């Protein structure tokens, strides 16, 4: 038989098909296509699954029913918490702290940040840091941990801009060592080569290396990362401090370059401890060049010496439960260089499924997450963001999904039980059918979930208004 008439090699065809699926699964399809195509994740059955199975059924509650009894904040006994959802319901009276009346989240033109500490101290550490920001030897730091809702800094970049308008500061804060789609983020120009990335999508993250960014990058011998300021928003064109945080088990040659300086560093192997190299120089450029096999890059921080900095740490598809794997030792070491005053948790959308009516197991797991964060960052406030509005088609019309209020109700109860702050994102958007109205105004993509850049700016203004009110109250 003629070779030209032979069928293709099945192995080659299979390999090409798998490669194509892997490439597609790495794309933020929903965002890149304005919501017309949903994200696809080939690894959803391989990596830890953060999707909660619908095993409960309760009546929809549009408002939380707060119980007037006491509770004890859960304490983590060791560092071996699993990431599996616990199926026991958490709606017994013993779960809720004493609250006289249900707080109405809307007061006038603002959505208040609800304080469930019982003594008004939900933002104590942030208030203290801002009051002493001139005498601190670092900037006031906030981190927002979340999913694709904040991917590409799309919401957080405008929060950062408005806070730096008010309190000073510059730079984007945390940035990873490598981005698959560097052009998607507008708050920084980024390029890199020579890195193997480990995160919850691309590869399993070791518990020994688990930080709040939930990712790290391993040097392949000769690696580099370059970061350039932009004029997309205010305070992004230059900054004063450029930090590179890493681990290495071998001696390494590291060259750091800014607009005005080049710093050569011969680093001695120290696999057990985080190391930090910094250039103090007002610059619009930071470049890290490494000659060392297996060096682990945790990330870079680009910020001013004073004022405020706001880190965006997003992982597409994440429900937040993996944060229970935070490594205590690494968190303590990182705090020596990067200390946080407030951590914002933006999760929940990826723990929902159609028809789901009860989120007790998910909330139980998130209690462990909050307890773990407090264990790792004892001097840091925690704020839970309720999910934004999410719509789906009902017949020929599009309306808010029926279980969205149930999830927000559960998140508010979580904040109440764990005695921390809560902000109702959906009410800030306008409440029922808000995502439908926002989509009509091109503030939300056609998937009725993800914010557009314009929508991110609008929602950020609402959040900062609420935060400033809480800080000045």
Query: For residues 118 and 87, which has the higher predicted lDDT (pLDDT)?
Result: 118
Domains in the chain: how many in total? Answer: 3
Name the phi and psi angles at 264, rounded to 5. Answer: -90, 135
pTM score > 0.85 for this model?
no
Q: What is the CATH number of the domain that holds 414?
A: 3.40.50.1110
Q: Are residues 295 and 310 in the same domain?
A: no
DSSP letters for 302-338: EE-SSSEEEEEEE-TT--SGGGGG--HHHHHHHHHHS
- Residue linked to tokens 């500490």: 117
Q: Are residues 186 and 267 in the same domain?
A: yes
Range of the domain at 418: 52-169+306-473
| Interatomic CA distance for residues 155 and 143, integer angstroms | 13
Q: What is the DSSP letter of 387?
A: P
pLDDT (0 to 100) of residue 29: 52
Could you tell me what percent of the chain has a pLDDT over 70?
A: 78
pLDDT at 121 over 60: yes
Q: 3-state SS of the chain: helix, strand, coil percent to 5?
A: 30, 25, 45
Q: Which of 271, 305, 339 is the last residue of a domain?
A: 305
pLDDT for 327-337, tens place per residue? 999 999 999 99
pLDDT (0 to 100) of residue 26: 55
Q: Are residues 90 and 30 in the same domain?
A: no
Q: Is 1 domain-assigned?
A: no
Q: Which of 270, 305, 340 is the last residue of a domain?
A: 305
Q: Is 4 domain-assigned?
A: no
pLDDT (0 to 100) of residue 348: 96
pLDDT for 200-232, tens place per residue? 877 788 999 999 999 999 999 899 999 999 999
Q: Which of 286, 305, 324 is the last residue of a domain?
A: 305
| Interatomic CA distance for residues 167 and 162, integer angstroms | 9
| Closest to 292 (Cα-Cα) out of 228, 246, 227 | 246
- Exposed, middle or buried: residue 302 (CB in 10 Å: 0-12, 13-18, 19+)? buried
Q: Is 2 domain-assigned?
A: no
Q: Find out whether 465 and 451 touch, Cβ atoms under 8 Å.
A: no
pLDDT at 95 over 70: no
pLDDT (0 to 100) of residue 395: 83
Q: Are residues 333 and 463 in the same domain?
A: yes
pLDDT at 142 over 70: yes
Q: Are residues 471 and 354 in the same domain?
A: yes
Q: Is 376 domain-assigned?
A: yes
Q: Are residues 459 and 349 in the same domain?
A: yes
CA torsion sign, 334 to 335 to 338 to 341?
positive
pLDDT for 322-378, tens place per residue? 999 999 999 999 999 999 999 999 999 999 988 889 999 999 999 999 999 999 999
Q: Are residues 97 and 193 in the same domain?
A: no
Could you tell me what percent of the chain has a pLDDT over 90?
A: 70
Q: Are residues 279 and 131 in the same domain?
A: no
Q: Are residues 278 and 415 in the same domain?
A: no
Could you tell me the CA-to-CA distances from 12 to 25, 55, 133 in Å, in that order?
20, 42, 60
Q: Are residues 296 and 434 in the same domain?
A: no
Q: Is 6 domain-assigned?
A: no
Please enumerate in sequence order all residues whose Cβ is within 8 A of that of 53, keeping only pairs 6 or more positions apart, or say none. 85, 353
Please enumerate in sequence order all residues whose Cβ is within 8 A of that of 3, keeping only pairs 6 or more positions apart, or say none. none
Please enumerate in sequence order all residues whose Cβ is within 8 A of that of 6, keeping only pairs 6 or more positions apart, or say none. none
Q: Using only the alpha carbons of the chain, give its radius of gyration.
A: 23
Q: What is the CATH number of the domain that holds 276?
A: 2.60.120.1360
Q: Are residues 451 and 339 in the same domain?
A: yes
| Interatomic CA distance for residues 38 and 24, integer angstroms | 11
Q: pLDDT band at 106, cuts 50/70/90?
A: confident
Q: Are residues 380 and 465 in the same domain?
A: yes
The whole-number average pLDDT for the span 394-398 is: 88
């Amino acid at each position: 038989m003629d070779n030209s008439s032979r069928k293709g090699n099945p192995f080659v065809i299979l390999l090409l098909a798998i490669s194509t699926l892997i490439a597609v699964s790495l794309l933020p399809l929903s965002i890149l296509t304005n919501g017309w195509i949903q994200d696809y994740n080939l690894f959803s059955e391989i990596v830890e699954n953060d999707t909660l199975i619908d095993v409960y059924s309760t009546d929809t509650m549009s408002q939380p029913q707060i119980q007037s009894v006491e509770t004890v904040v859960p304490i983590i006994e060791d560092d071996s918490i699993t990431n599996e959802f616990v199926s026991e319901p958490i709606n017994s009276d013993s779960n809720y702290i004493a609250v006289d009346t249900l707080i109405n989240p809307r007061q006038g033109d603002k959505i208040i940040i609800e304080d469930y500490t019982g003594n008004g101290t939900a933002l104590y550490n942030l208030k203290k840091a801002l009051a002493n920001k001139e005498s601190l030897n670092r900037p006031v730091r906030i981190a927002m941990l979340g999913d694709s809702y904040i991917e590409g800094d799309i919401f957080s970049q405008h929060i950062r801009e408005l806070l730096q308008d008010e309190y000073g500061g510059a730079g984007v804060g945390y940035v990873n060592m490598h981005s698959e789609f560097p052009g998607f983020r507008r708050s920084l120009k980024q390029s890199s080569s020579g890195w193997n990335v480990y995160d919850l999508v691309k590869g399993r993250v070791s518990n020994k290396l688990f930080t709040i960014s939930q990712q790290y990058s391993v040097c392949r011998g000769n690696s580099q990362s370059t970061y350039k300021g932009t004029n997309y928003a205010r305070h992004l064109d230059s900054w004063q401090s450029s930090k590179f945080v890493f681990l290495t088990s071998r001696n390494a040659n590291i060259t750091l370059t800014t607009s005005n300086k080049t710093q050569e560093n011969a680093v001695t192997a120290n696999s057990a401890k985080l190391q930090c190299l910094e250039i103090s120089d007002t610059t619009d450029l930071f470049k890290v060049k490494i000659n060392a096999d297996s060096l682990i890059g945790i990330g870079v921080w680009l910020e001013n010496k004073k004022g405020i900095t706001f880190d965006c740490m997003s992982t597409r598809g994440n429900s937040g439960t993996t944060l229970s794997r935070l490594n205590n030792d690494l968190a303590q070491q990182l705090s020596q260089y990067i200390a946080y005053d407030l951590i914002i948790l933006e999760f929940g959308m990826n723990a929902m499924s159609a028809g789901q009516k009860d989120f007790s197991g998910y909330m139980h797991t998130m209690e462990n997450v909050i307890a773990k964060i407090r264990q790792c960052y004892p001097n840091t406030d925690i704020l839970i963001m309720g999910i934004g509005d999410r719509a789906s088609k009902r017949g020929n019309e599009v309306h808010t999904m029926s279980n969205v209020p149930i999830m927000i109700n559960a998140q508010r109860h979580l904040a109440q039980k764990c005695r921390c702050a809560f902000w109702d994102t959906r009410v800030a958007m306008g409440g029922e059918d808000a995502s439908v109205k926002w989509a009509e105004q091109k503030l939300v993509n056609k998937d009725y979930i993800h914010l557009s850049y314009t929508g991110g700016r609008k929602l950020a203004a609402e959040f900062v208004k609420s935060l400033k009110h809480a800080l000045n109250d």
